[in-house]
Amino acid sequence: MTAAVSLSARTDARDAPAAAPKPVRIADDMAMLRAAAELTRDLNPPKPWVYWTDLLLSCALGYGALAVAIVGSNLWVMAAAIVVSILALYRAGSFIHELTHIRHASVPWFRFGWNALVGVPQMIPSFMYEGVHSLHHARTRYGTAEDPEYLPLALMKPWSVPVFVVVAALAPIAMIVRFGVLSPLAVVFPGVREMVVARYSALSINPSFRRRAPEGELARQWRWQAAGASVWAIALVSLTIAGIVPLKAFLMFIGVASGVMVINQVRTLVAHLWENEGEVLTQTAQYLDSVNVPPPGALPLLWAPVGLRYHALHHLLPGLPYHALAEAHRRLSADLAPDSPYHRANYRSLTGLVARLVSNSGRATPV
C-alpha cells in the first residue's frame, strides 16, 4: 500500500513483480517473536461491546441497503445500495475468522448471534470454518498439502489466479445446493453424509483437503447450524418458485452474496505471497509469507476489514482480538529495529500485490 493506501497502479520496491521464488529456509527471529509476545500481553482480552456493536451495525447497514436495492426503482440508487450492502455484509461475514480464535466464553452468545444474523442467512455457518482454520495455523501444516487454506498460487499456471476469483462468484449457488439438496440427503444416506462431511463442509481453497467428522461441542454446533442453513435454503428457493419471494429479491440476494464472496477471494489472493512449495516453515517464515497492509491509508478498511489488513501480524499473534491489532502493529513497528523481519511483511497496495502474484505465476514452473 502507498503512504496513502490506494488501489492505484503505483507500486514501490516491496510491491514490484519479482522473479518466481525458490524455497529458502528461514530461521526464527527470536527478537521479533519475543517482542510480539511481550509488548502485546495487555491487548489479549477481547472487548465484547466492540464485537457486538461492530457486528450489529454492519448487519443493519448491509441488510438495510439490500432492502433499499430490492424495493428501489432508480438504477443509481439501487446500484449504490448494492455496493453498500456488499461491503457491509462482507465486514459482518468476516467475523467468522474471529469466531475461530476467541474464547467463546469471553464474548458470550456471539457465535450464536453471528450465525443467526449472518452464518445461516448467508449459508456460511461457522462450523464450515471452525476446526478448519486452526489447521492453517498449525506449526507443521502451514503451507503444506495438509493446509486447507493454502495453495502455491505464485507457482501455479497463470490462469489459476483469475479462475480462483471467478469460482467464488458461484459460491452462493453452490451453498444452496449443499444445504438445500445435499444436507437432507445426508440425513437419510450414510454414504452421502460421509461425502458431504469430508468434501463439502469446509471453507477451504485446497481441493485435496478432506475433513474429519466433528466431535463433542463442534458436532452439536454443526447439527443446529446445518439444520438452520438447510431450512433457510429450502425455504428461500421454495418461496421464490411459489412467487411469494419476488424473483428480483432472490436475484439481488444471490448477487450481493456473490459480491461478498468475490471480494473475499480477492483479499485472499493477497493475504499471503503463496510462495511455499510444501515445506514446513518456521514461524518467521510463515510471517514473511503473509501480508500486512498497514495505515495511513483507509481503503483496506473496506477490502480487508475486521483486522484482516494485519494478516501477517495475526500469524504471529493468532489469539489477539481484531480490535487490538492496530495498536500491536504500532508498538512493534516502533520497538523493532529497521532491519527486523517484521517490517518486511508490510506492503503498500492491493494492485501491487496482485501484480506480483500474477507475474510470479507467469514465470514459475507450473505445478
Average pLDDT of the segment spanning 248-253: 97
Q: Which of 253, 240, 259, 264 is nearest to 69 (CA)?
A: 253
- Which amino acid makes up residue 321? P
Which residue, among 325, 123, 103, 321, has the nearest Cα to 217 in the 3D structure?
A: 103
> In DSSP terms, which residues pair with 310 in a beta bridge?
292
What pLDDT score does 298 carry? Answer: 82
Tens of pLDDT along 109-143?
999 999 999 999 999 999 999 999 999 999 899 99
Contact 352, 8 (CB under 8 A): no
What are the residues facing 290 on neighbouring strands?
272
d(CA 229, CA 98): 20
For 52-110, write each residue's pLDDT tens digit. 999 999 999 999 999 999 999 999 999 999 999 999 999 999 999 999 999 999 999 99
pLDDT of 23 > 80? The answer is: no
Q: How confident is the model at residue 362 (pLDDT cuts 50, 70, 90)?
A: low
Q: Across residues 343-363, what is the average pLDDT?
A: 80
Q: How confident is the model at residue 352 (pLDDT cuts 50, 70, 90)?
A: confident
Q: Shortest CA distance to 178 belongs to which of 198, 201, 194?
A: 201
Mean pLDDT of 338-349: 92
pLDDT for the residue 200 = 96
CB neighbours of residue 248 within 10 Å: 11
In which band, very low, low, confident or very high, does the pLDDT at 363 lie, cut at 50, 70 and 90? low
Four-residue CA torsion sign, 195, 166, 70, 57: positive
Q: For residue 90, what is its C-alpha cell?
A: 462482507
Residue 125 DSSP SS3: coil
Task: Report pLDDT for 277.
Answer: 85
Confidence of residue 356 (pLDDT cuts 50, 70, 90): confident
With a cut of 70, say whether residue 1 has pLDDT above it.
Answer: no
Give the whole-angstrom CA distance, residue 209 versus residue 277.
Answer: 16
Structural contact between residues 98 and 126, judged by C-beta atoms closer than 8 angstroms: no
Instruction: Look up the pTM and report it.
Output: 0.90
- Residue 309, pLDDT > 90, answer yes
What is the DSSP secondary structure assignment for residue 115, as one 8-state letter?
I
Q: Which cell numbers hold the place of 200?
A: 463439502
pLDDT higher for 191 or 360?
191
Give 242's pLDDT tier (boundaries 50, 70, 90): very high
306-301-132 Cα angle (round to 5): 35
The answer to whether 361 and 153 have CB atoms below 8 angstroms apart is: yes
